Amino acid sequence: MPSLSTAQMRVPVVTASAVEEFARGGFHGTTVADVARAARISPAYVFKLFPSKERLFVAALDDCFRQIVETLGVAADGAAGGPPDGILDAMGGAYAELIADRSLLMLQVHAQSVADIPEVGQALRAGLATVVRLAKTRSGASDEAVQRFVAVGQLCHLIVTSGIEDVPDEWASILTAGIRHP
């Protein structure tokens, strides 16, 4: 078995730090130096691993979607054999648990806000495509049910990021009805 180089061993550490830092500050509010400090390496070494801030952000976003797909896959396995809506519900519940720490949620929100950066937009679309294909193939649900699954996920993002789950007004109750957030 070949051994990993120091650089190969650092990539997951830097990527995990990038997820946390970009989730906290967004693309424009986070510097490569911020990520380097969190990963306890120099900014120059981060640039050795990721030649641009865009590539670093994309690596974080790719890791975010990797975690999402893994989680949805495990949930689909656990609900296998059930009705399509039951499988999608299990996947949705697992996703809600995954984003309880909010880093993956916020990274996606920040990615949406800078999707006009070509590399970021491409990575965001690729991640979404993977999630949609997984939901469709693993659940066997209709296209409309998969669309609702993704739409509810986006509604969850809105509810959490805007902090309306505890707002006692009717409009907030309409949006949050039936949505659970750990």
In tens, the pLDDT along 122-166 reads 999 999 999 999 999 999 999 999 999 999 999 988 998 898 988
Burial of 131: CB neighbours in 10 Å, binned 0-12, 13-18, 19+: buried
Query: In this structure, what token pair is assigned to residue 71?
Result: 């989680």
| Domains held by the chain: number | 1
Backbone conformation region of residue 149, classed left if phi is above 0, alpha if psi is from -120 to 50, else beta: alpha
Residue 16 within a domain: yes
- Tokens of residue 142, six digits: 């209709």
39 within domain boundaries: yes
Give domain status of residue 144, yes or no.
Answer: yes
Asked whether residue 1 is domain-assigned, the answer is: no
Are the C-beta atoms of 48 and 5 separated by less than 8 Å? no
> Where residue 76 sits, what CATH number does that domain have?
1.10.357.10
The reply to whether 181 falls in a domain is no
**Threshold 0.85, pTM exceeds:** yes
In a domain, 182, yes or no: no
pLDDT of residue 33 exceeding 80: yes
- Percent of the chain at pLDDT exceeding 90: 85
Give me the domain span that covers residue 111: 6-176
